[in-house]
Amino acid sequence: MTDLQRTATSGFENAFGSEPHGLWTAPGRVNIIGEHTDYNDGFVFPMAIDRRTVAAVRRRDDDRIRVSSSFSPEIVEVSVRALDPDALHGWSAYPLGVAWALGQFGAPLQEVPGVDIYIDSDVPVGAGLSSSAAIEASVAVALTEIWHLDHDRRTLAKICQLAENRAVGAPTGIMDQSASLLGRRDCGVFLDCRSLETDVIPLGFEEHDLELLVIDTRVEHAHVSGGYAARRASCEAGAAALGADSLRDVTVGDLDRARELLDDETFRRVRHVVTENQRVLDTVRTLREHGPTSIGELLVASHASMRDDFEISVPELDLAVETSMAAGAIGSRMTGGGFGGAAIALVPVALASSVAEAVTAAFAEASFTAPTIFPVRPAAGATRES
């Protein structure tokens, strides 16, 4: 049992006064490439990471569902028969939202037994590593088993996305939940967000002695409000003006026409998504043909597109990318929704500490808050642990 699983077990016992029946875990993720493409029906290529959330769960004999967590001392209690996405708030909206969303996908919530759930996690919150998807996925696999449901992982990703969209109120796509549910050791998850077809592709980081550094800028972001929804709205407006169902149907060859039809800002939003879809396809092909040391330029081009066209970077992320590249990284880019959060740098293991030191020094020089820098490994998706 890991330390985290042990603290989750004792947290459960302190909150509810008995032992959990089982522990289910799910990882956070970093996105290797494919940003703001998921809700445009496009392509993404994230990986699950070795930072996980634990859901310790015990079945009850009545209809109550109680949730508690290491994030806050409160215990939130509702009837599983009366779950209402509009009445959920705070962190408990994630686990309770998943229970509600399972009902939307056919779980007989009028019959299933109640549960006690305790959540603990070592996925940093607010860093763009999908701590929220990790909670959702851990609870989804736990309840699927306890309630004897038979949803496959792709359906569970949709269920978790529905929880995030309706119960939490964040208009996000399906990437994070898919990565958390489908990841595999040393692999990335190539996902077509239109068909939901997935291909789990070996990254070869272990064989090539590469490491992925997360550079958490500690500029906190949130997707419930602000820029994320505005970007999504621009993409939808751009697609409509071009007569497309979604930006998935617009190609690099259509961009000249798009420039004539769209205002400058909408055009640049569209250009980011269209070129980013192409970069995901190019990354997967390059990885297969030439291995992970050849994908660096695509990662850097993705960052430039988010900085200049989609305008979701911040000075801290740009500095993290520039400095890690100057210090010898193979590739680097911001990851996740943007407006803060983390950058990633793909580095040879031998250079990891000098890249980290260079970034830390550059942040100090710029008088930015010191970043938190740590390596992550591509890890397995959600699973039962005990």
Active site residues: 176
The H or E element that residue 117 is part of is: strand 115-121
Q: Which stretch binds ligand GLA (CB under 6 A): 31-39, 69-77, 179-187, 359-367?
A: 31-39
In whole angstroms, the minimum distance from the beta carbon of 316 to ligand GLA comes to: 17
In whole angstroms, the minimum distance from the beta carbon of 274 to ligand GLA comes to: 15
Residue linked to tokens 């690099």: 252
Please tell me the distance from the alpha carbon of residue 178 to that of residue 172, in angstroms, as a whole number.
12
In whole angstroms, the minimum distance from the beta carbon of 130 to ligand GLA comes to: 6
Among 24, 25, 35, 331, binds ligand GLA (CB under 6 A): 35
153-162 vs 93-104: helix crossing angle, rounded to 10:
120
Please tell me the distance from the alpha carbon of residue 147 to that of residue 113, in angstroms, as a whole number.
7
Q: Which stretch binds ligand GLA (CB under 6 A): 168-176, 207-215, 301-309, 376-384?
A: 168-176
In whole angstroms, the minimum distance from the beta carbon of 172 to ligand GLA comes to: 3
Q: Does 178 bind ligand GLA (CB under 6 A)?
A: no
CB nearer to ligand GLA: give 58 or 279: 279
CB nearer to ligand GLA: give 175 or 213: 175
CB nearer to ligand GLA: give 42 or 114: 42
In whole angstroms, the minimum distance from the beta carbon of 131 to ligand GLA comes to: 11
Q: Measured between alpha carbons, how far apart are the two ends of the chain, in Å? A: 9
Q: Does 46 bind ligand GLA (CB under 6 A)?
A: no
In whole angstroms, the minimum distance from the beta carbon of 176 to ligand GLA comes to: 5
Angle at 325 between CA 320 and CA 327, to 5 degrees: 95
Residue linked to tokens 């983390």: 342
CB nearer to ligand GLA: give 38 or 309: 38
CB nearer to ligand GLA: give 38 or 216: 38
- Point out which residues pair with 156 in neighbouring strands: none
CB nearer to ligand GLA: give 35 or 211: 35
Question: CB atoms < 10 A from the CB of 315, how many?
Answer: 12
Running DSSP on this structure, what letter comes out for residue 101? H
Q: Does 188 bind ligand GLA (CB under 6 A)?
A: no
Q: Which stretch binds ligand GLA (CB under 6 A): 118-126, 170-178, 252-260, 359-367?
A: 170-178
Among 20, 95, 173, 238, binds ligand GLA (CB under 6 A): 173
Nearest Cα to Cα of residue 382 among 68, 222, 160: 160
In whole angstroms, the minimum distance from the beta carbon of 59 to ligand GLA comes to: 30
Among 53, 172, 180, 305, binds ligand GLA (CB under 6 A): 172
Question: CB atoms < 10 A from the CB of 26, how many?
Answer: 33
What residues numbered 330-349 form the site for ligand GLA, per CB under 6 A?
Answer: 336-337
Contacts of residue 342, defined as CB under 8 A and 6 or more positions apart, other chains included, come to 30, 127, 128, 129, 214, 215, 216, 217, 334, 335, 336
Report how many residues bind ligand GLA under the rule CB under 6 A: 12
Residue 367 backbone class (left: φ over 0; alpha: ψ -120 to 50; beta: rest): left
**Do 371 and 343 touch, CB atoms closer than 8 A?**
no
Pairing of strands 43-59, 115-121: antiparallel
Q: Does 36 bind ligand GLA (CB under 6 A)?
A: yes
Q: Does 175 bind ligand GLA (CB under 6 A)?
A: yes
What residues numbered 201-240 form the site for ligand GLA, per CB under 6 A?
Answer: 223
CB nearer to ligand GLA: give 66 or 232: 232
**Do 111 and 38 touch, CB atoms closer than 8 A?**
no
Question: Phi/psi of residue 23, each to 5°?
Answer: -120, 130
**Do 172 and 368 touch, CB atoms closer than 8 A?**
no
- Which residues lie near ligand GLA (CB under 6 A)? 31, 35-36, 38-39, 172-173, 175-176, 223, 336-337
